[in-house]
Amino acid sequence: MRSKRTKKTKTVCTFCGVGCSFEVWTKDRKILKVQPSDGPVNAVSTCVKGKFGWDFVNSEERITKPLIRKNNEFVEASWDEALDLIASRLGGIQKEYGTGSVGFISSSKITNEENYLIQKMARQLFETNDVDNCSRYCQSPATDGLMRTVGMGGDAGTIKDIAKAGLVIIVGANPAEGHPVLATRVKRAHKLHGQKLIVSDIRKHEMAERSDIFMRPKQGTDQVWLMAVTKYIIDQGWHDEAFIQENVNFYDEFKAVLDKYTLEYAEQQTGISKETLIQVAEMIRDADGTCVLWGMGVTQNTGGSYTSAAISNLLLATGNYRRPGAGAYPLRGHNNVQGACDMGTLPNLLPGYQKVTNDAEREKFEKAYGVKIKPEPGRTNMQMLDAIMEGKMKAMYLVGEDMALVDCDANHVDKVLSQLEFFVVQDIFLSRTAQYADVILPAAPSLEKEGTFTNTERRVQRLYQVLPTLGESKADWEILQAVARRLGADWNYSHPSEIFDEMASLSPIFAEANYDVLADWGSFCWGSLDGKDTPLLYEDGFNFPDKKARFALHDWVQPVEYEAQYDCLINNGRMLEHFHEGNMTNKSKGIQSKVPEIFVEVSPELAKERGIEDGALLRLVSPYGALKLNALITDRVQGKELFLPMNSVSKDSAINFLTGPAADINTSTPAYKQTKVRVEIL
Ligand code: SF4
C-alpha cells in the first residue's frame, strides 16, 4: 500500500525541446519514479534522461544560500544582504554610466514567466534592450531563415504531424540522441508505415544508419545541395507551380539565383554525387508531404541562416507547407528555447514577437511598463561581451546560463567576465560562469516551481511544483521579483499565472492562452495573430501583409578558412544521456555512471594514417586553445573529421576551449561546427 506521504505531480521535462510531460512520484524529497501519461507530445514514452536524470535536485552541490564574493572568496549571506548589494551596485552603475552599462542574459532552462520578467526588468528598470538568451548559441539562424521566407520562426506543425509525412529529411541533426521521443515517432513511421527518410550529416549517427539515403556533405555546404536539388526539381517541372503562383513572391528572382547551382557544381562543392542528388529530388517528387527537420549542424555555421532559408525555399517550391505532414521543423534543443524567444528575451523583439522598432508595438509596452523603451535593437550576447571588453558595459545579470562553457572561445569569455565591475548569477549550481560572479543567488530547478515551458512545436505546457525548494533557494521568478522590488519596482506577483496573464494581455499570439486552458495536461500552440490555439501554421496564409511567402535570394556562404596546420574538423553535438553542457546530468548518478568519461571520436582512416590507437591520449590544438582527450576509434566519423560530445563531463574537456569567433553572418550565432584542430598524440 502507498504511504500517505507518497504523491504524484504532473510536470514537464527540462532536458530537450520535445517537452515530454509526465507524473513524478515522490515521497518527501525522494523521487520514486517518473511515469509518462498520455500527454499531448509523448504519449506513454520518455527517454533515459527524462526517466532517470533527476537526482541532481538532491545533489550536495546545490547552492542553497545566497553567496557574496568577499576577499575573492564566496561567503554565505542572507537574502537581505544579497538583495541590498545587488540593488545598490546595479543601481549605482546604471546611474554612473547610463543606459547600456548593464546587460541581461536569460536562458531556455527557465520558465516562460521567468523569461518574461527578465526582459521586463531590462526594459522597465534599466531602459535597455541589451537582453538576449541562449538561442543565440543555437537556433537564431533557423528562426532568421524562416522569418525571411514564411514570416514565423516556429515549427510548421506538431510533432505528431511529422509521422504523417511521406518523406522526412533530417539535416545536421541527430534526433535519436538530441530529441529521442520525437525520433521514436520518425523511426516508427519509417519502419511500420513506409515513410521515407533522408539524412544529411557529416557523422553516421543512428538516424543516418536507418535512412534510405544518407549523404555526407563537406561541412558548411548543405545550402549548396539544397539549392541544387531545388533547381533540379524546378528544371524537371516537378515543383508545385500552382502553389508558388498562389502563395510565394519573388519566383523569377529566385530562379535567377539558382542558376549556378547545377548538380555538377553541387557535386564539386559538397562531395555528394549527382546521382544521389537526383535520387533525393525524385524522393521529394514522389512523397505525399515532406518535412525537413534540422539542427545545429545547419545553424552553427557561417551560413546557418541562409541554409535555413534554403530549406524553407525547397519546401515552398514543392508546395510543402500549409498541411499536416509537410513543412519546416527547426529542432529547438533545450526544453524552452522556443519559450525564451517567445517571451522577448531578445535584443530586437518584445514578447510575442513584437518588434522594438515598431512604434505601435513598442508603445503598448511603454504604456504598460510606464517607461520609454529604446526604438533600436539592443546588443546580442556576443555584442555584450565586446561591449564589456570595450569598457562600455560594466555589469551583467545572468540567469541559468553557463556562458563560460557554452559560448565560443571559452578562454576569451574568461577574460571578458573578469572585466565586469559587477556580476549577478542565478543558478542551481556553482557553474563555471558563476565563479566570476560577485553575487550568486540560489535558484530552484523546474521540479521545485510552477510555470510553463514551450516545446519545439510551439506548445505551451504547465509544470506543477513536485518538491519543496531546497534550503533558501527560490524560484527564479521570485528572485527576479525580489530584486526588482529592491530597485523600486512595483511588482506584486503572487503566482506565475499572474505573470503569464500580463504577458498574454500584451501579446496577441497568446490572447487565448491562460492557466485554465493549460491546466493539468492541457496545452496551447501559438501561431495565429488572433491568439487562437494553432497546431498547424499558415492555414490562412503566410505571415506577411499580403499573406504570401517569399523565396529568399541568398548565395551560399563559404565556411571559415584555417591555416593548413589545423587540418582536422572537430564536429560536436549532443549525447543521449546528457543534457547540454552537463551541469545537471553530471550530478545524476545513474546517468553519470553510464557515461563517466568524455572522448573524441576518430575515424579508422585517420587512426591508421597517424598511428592512433583506441584510447590513446590526444592533444587537440586550435588557434584558440587546446584540450586533452582519449580517442575513440569509430566509423561514425570519416577521414579527417572528429567528433566531441558537447557535454563536458570534465570541465577541462569542453569543446569551447577550441572554438573561435566566426559566426553566422546574420545572427552572430557562433559557427561552432566550423572549428579545425591539429591532432597531437601524447
Ligand atoms: Fe522527452 Fe526530451 Fe525529456 Fe527525453 S529529454 S524525456 S525526449 S523531453
Residue-wise pLDDT tens digits, 225-245: 999 999 999 999 999 999 999
- What's the whole-number mean pLDDT along residues 347-373? 97
**Confidence class of residue 546 from pLDDT cuts 50, 70 and 90?**
very high
Q: Are 495 and 515 in contact (CB under 8 A)?
A: no
CA proximity to 428, closest of 455, 451, 448, 403:
448
135's grid cell: 538561442
Mean pLDDT is lowest, of 31-40, 149-158, 441-450, for: 31-40
Strand arrangement of the beta sheet that strand 451-454 belongs to: 451-454, 459-463, 523-525
Q: Please choose from 12, 13, 463 the residue to mutate so as to test ligand 1's pocket, defined by most ligand atoms within 8 A of CB.
A: 13
- What's the whole-number mean pLDDT along residues 389-401? 96
Partners of 214 in the beta sheet? 199
Percent of the chain residues topping a pLDDT of 90: 87
Q: Are 119 and 106 in contact (CB under 8 A)?
A: yes
Q: How many angstroms does the Cα of residue 1 sit away from the middle of ligand 1?
A: 30
Whose cell is 519502419? That residue is: 191
Whose cell is 570541465? That residue is: 651
Q: What angle, 0 to 180 degrees and rounded to 10, lies between the N-to-C axes of helices 222-235 and 304-317? A: 20
The yes-or-no verdict on residue 597 having pLDDT over 80 is no
Residue-wise pLDDT tens digits, 410-458: 999 999 999 999 999 999 999 999 999 999 999 999 999 999 999 999 9
Residue-wise pLDDT tens digits, 39-64: 888 877 788 888 888 889 999 999 99
Coil, strand or helix at 463: strand
Any idea where the domains of the chain sit in the sequence?
6-58, 67-137+335-519, 140-331, 568-661
- What's the whole-number mean pLDDT along residues 617-622? 97
- What's the whole-number mean pLDDT along residues 12-27? 92
Q: How many angstroms does the Cα of residue 207 sit away from the middle of ligand 1?
A: 17
Render 281-323 in DSSP notation, one character per residue: HHHHHH-S-EEEEE-HHHHSSTTHHHHHHHHHHHHHHTT-SSS
Q: Is the CB of 47 under 6 A from ligand 1?
A: yes
Partners of 572 in the beta sheet? 644
Same fold, 6-58 and 67-137+335-519: no
Give this prediction's pTM. Answer: 0.95
Please state the separation of Cα 462 from the chain's center in Å. Answer: 20
Q: Is the CB of 13 under 6 A from ligand 1?
A: yes
Residue-wise pLDDT tens digits, 94-117: 999 999 999 999 998 999 999 999
Enumerate residues 6+ apart whose C-beta is below 8 A from 6.
25, 26, 27, 32
Q: How many angstroms does the Cα of residue 50 sit away from the middle of ligand 1?
A: 5
Q: Give the pLDDT confidence score for residue 1 in this predicted structure.
A: 46
Residue 232's φ and ψ, nearest 5 degrees, are -60, -45
The yes-or-no verdict on residue 398 having pLDDT over 80 is yes
Q: Give the pLDDT confidence score for residue 585 in this predicted structure.
A: 72
> Alpha helices of 320-475 — where are they, by DSSP H?
337-342, 359-369, 381-389, 403-406, 410-417
10 Å Cβ neighbour count for 489?
A: 17
Enumerate residues 6+ apart whose C-beta is below 8 A from 70.
none
Coil, strand or helix at 242: helix
Task: Give me the interface pTM, i.e. the ipTM.
Answer: 0.99
- Topology of domain 568-661 in CATH is Barwin-like endoglucanases (2.40.40)
- What's the whole-number mean pLDDT along residues 665-678? 94
Q: Give the pLDDT confidence score for residue 224 in this predicted structure.
A: 98
Q: Please choose from 12, 47, 456 the residue to mutate so as to test ligand 1's pocket, defined by most ligand atoms within 8 A of CB.
A: 47
506's grid cell: 500584451
Cα-based torsion angle of the residue sequence 459, 185, 198, 557 in order, rounded to the nearest 10 degrees:
20
CATH code that applies to domain 140-331: 3.40.228.10
Residue 648 vs residue 128, higher pLDDT:
128
Highest mean pLDDT among 1-10, 154-163, 575-584: 154-163
Domain 6-58 has CATH 3.20.20.70: no
**Confidence class of residue 472 from pLDDT cuts 50, 70 and 90?**
very high
**Confidence class of residue 551 from pLDDT cuts 50, 70 and 90?**
very high
Residue 441's φ and ψ, nearest 5 degrees, are -105, 130
Q: Give the pLDDT confidence score for residue 590 in this predicted structure.
A: 72
Name the closest-CA residue to atom 3, ligand 1: 50
Enumerate residues 6+ apart whose C-beta is below 8 A from 360.
none
CA separation for the pair 128, 122 (Å, rounded): 6
**Confidence class of residue 649 from pLDDT cuts 50, 70 and 90?**
low
Enumerate residues 6+ apart whose C-beta is below 8 A from 647.
574, 575, 578, 579, 580, 581, 582, 585, 586, 598
10 Å Cβ neighbour count for 106?
A: 32
CA separation for the pair 230, 665 (Å, rounded): 23
Q: Is the CB of 19 under 6 A from ligand 1?
A: yes
User: How far, in Å, are 290, 308, 312, 412, 554 from residue 664 at the CA level?
Assistant: 26, 11, 17, 19, 13
CA separation for the pair 355, 365 (Å, rounded): 11
Q: Is the CB of 327 under 6 A from ligand 1?
A: no
In whole numbers, what is the pLDDT of the chain averaged over residues? Answer: 94
CA separation for the pair 384, 387 (Å, rounded): 5
Q: Which atom of ligand 1 is nearest to the CA of 579?
A: 5
Q: Please choose from 14, 181, 332, 334 the residue to mutate so as to test ligand 1's pocket, defined by most ligand atoms within 8 A of CB.
A: 181
Enumerate residues 6+ apart whose C-beta is below 8 A from 630.
597, 599, 600, 615, 616, 617, 618
CA proximity to 424, closest of 436, 415, 410:
436
Residue 362 vs residue 591, higher pLDDT:
362
The yes-or-no verdict on residue 653 having pLDDT over 90 is no
CA separation for the pair 58, 49 (Å, rounded): 16
**Confidence class of residue 575 from pLDDT cuts 50, 70 and 90?**
confident
The yes-or-no verdict on residue 3 having pLDDT over 60 is no
DSSP β-ladder status, 73-76 and 67-70: antiparallel
Q: How many angstroms does the Cα of residue 41 sit away from the middle of ligand 1?
A: 10
CA separation for the pair 21, 366 (Å, rounded): 36
Coil, strand or helix at 417: helix
Q: How many angstroms does the Cα of residue 48 sit away from the middle of ligand 1?
A: 8
Q: Are 284 and 117 in contact (CB under 8 A)?
A: no
CA separation for the pair 590, 43 (Å, rounded): 24
Secondary structure in 3-state letters for 53-84? CCHHHHCCCCCCCCEEEECCEEEECCHHHHHH
> Positive or negative, the Cα torsion across 16, 543, 227, 560?
negative
CA separation for the pair 324, 537 (Å, rounded): 9
Q: Which atom of ligand 1 is nearest to the CA of 18?
A: 8
Q: Is the CB of 266 under 6 A from ligand 1?
A: no
Residue 349 vs residue 651, higher pLDDT:
349
Q: Are 533 and 233 in contact (CB under 8 A)?
A: no
**Confidence class of residue 652 from pLDDT cuts 50, 70 and 90?**
confident
Enumerate residues 6+ apart whose C-beta is below 8 A from 599.
629, 630, 631, 632, 644, 645
Residue type, 592: Q
Q: Is 522 exposed, middle or buried (0-12, 13-18, 19+ CB in 10 A)?
A: middle
The yes-or-no verdict on residue 282 having pLDDT over 70 is yes
CA separation for the pair 198, 113 (Å, rounded): 38
Name the closest-CA residue to atom 2, ligand 1: 16
The architecture (CATH level 2) of 67-137+335-519 comes to 3-Layer(aba) Sandwich (3.40)
Q: How many angstroms does the Cα of residue 475 sit away from the middle of ligand 1?
A: 22
Phi/psi zone of residue 31: left (φ > 0), alpha (ψ -120 to 50 degrees), beta?
A: beta
Name the closest-CA residue to atom 1, ligand 1: 20
Residue-wise pLDDT tens digits, 257-277: 999 999 999 999 999 999 999
Percent of the chain residues topping a pLDDT of 70: 98
Residue type, 475: A
Using the 8-state DSSP alphabet, how is residue 94 labeled? Answer: H
